[in-house]
Chain A
């Protein structure tokens, strides 16, 4: 096995990135179990393609792209099998927030879960992961204008579900 010299470097950086990868996965899969499976798949893919990673490029964007593709593949596979999507009751944990903060967090998560896939991805990348519009559009493989319209529709839907005045 002729691993590139930067493989260990890549592993180390992926290790630091794991909490964020898990967070992103949690948003897009809506399921704790699926989320960590997705992170594992993405990390394995990244390590297998280590040669494609340029150390001067942003690892988070690269990983988000890998994760998004793996998740889309997974959804398509599930649909092909005509199976149900992730079960509703498998809600995400929200950590050790106070009871009030947890209620808010859960209602936001419940609203997020109801967003269409493409809007949820846009919201996850920009609002949760702080990616720029340009980076988010690149990760999703869409023009910036499309990203903006998905993001705007996603936000409008969230605001409506969360009961905020328009």
Chain B
């Protein structure tokens, strides 16, 4: 009896009923060609599966973990991964040293800033003040009110929150204003001062939520952060207290 390749594939995938299975096993015993075909299917299946096994071991990005909740609650997963990747790069002979990254981040930020200055008017999410760029409008509202991982409504979206070395609260954000931007803002008095802005990857349609942080922003976070980002509880607490600097920096 001749079995189609699809049938042998289904056998290799464990999809056939008992009787057909027995028939195929008979054919395999009698015909090495049939046996080889089944082995090819099995080997390919194992190969394809193992090619993607690496994803399972990657840390889950914070924006996903905080959204879905559950035991994967590793709020800093991609930051930690980013740091270890950077550490690995530093260790390697040809690695880019820190100052180069900083310079690159700065030049990226500068390029965007030129554009930002044009963004004026009542709806602009930024304003240039003597103290620097501060968040305004819906961005200011989002930074003040929104908890990370809350369902986006198309407006600005807050990423992670943390305390900087001076005890001030800082938050990363994505905002769409003429171009998709991502940045870091730190609380100063009653305002959010924007520390860095960078072009976020252009959104191309259906996938509306925030993209992962651009390197320039991750770099700024890494330079400013004291310890680890806030977990959901600490973040809610900080918000409820109006983002006043933490008086006690002890662990």
Binding site for B on A (CB under 8 A): 8, 11-20, 22-23, 26-27, 33-34, 36-41, 43-44, 47-48, 70, 73-74, 77-78, 80-81, 83, 92-97, 101, 104-106, 108-109, 112, 123, 126-128, 130, 132-133, 148-149, 151-152, 155-156, 158-159, 162, 164, 166
Contacts and interface: CB of A to CB of B under 8 A. Distances in A.
B65 interface: yes
Interface secondary structure of A, over-half rule: helix
A36 B6 CA distance: 33
Nearest to A48: B151
Given A11-B68, A159-B44, A94 B209 contact: no
Given A8-B69, A12-B71, A155-B9, A108 B204 contact: no
A130 B53 CA distance: 13
B215 to A, nearest CB: 12
Which of the listed residues B41, B50, B71 has the most CB atoms from chain A within 10 Å of its own CB? Answer: B50
Contacts of A97: 53-54
Given A16-B71, A18-B72, A164-B40, A95 B9 contact: no
A162 B51 CA distance: 13
A5 to B, nearest CB: 15
Interface size class of B (residues with CB under 8 A): 35 or more
A31 to B, nearest CB: 10
B80 interface: no
A114 B89 CA distance: 31
Contacts of A104: 47, 50-51
B71 A43 contact: no
B67 interface: yes
A155 B54 contact: no
Contacts of A23: 52, 55-56
Given A11-B70, A37-B209, A105-B50, A22 B60 contact: yes
Nearest to A97: B54
Contact of B48 (A33, A77, A128): A128
Which of the listed residues A14, A36, A44 has the most CB atoms from chain B within 10 Å of its own CB? Answer: A36
B46 to A, nearest CB: 9
B205 A126 contact: no
A15 B45 CA distance: 27
A47 B151 contact: yes
B209 A127 contact: no
A92 B52 CA distance: 9
Contact of A44 (B152, B205, B211): B152
A112 B29 CA distance: 32
Nearest to B50: A105
A22 to B, nearest CB: 6
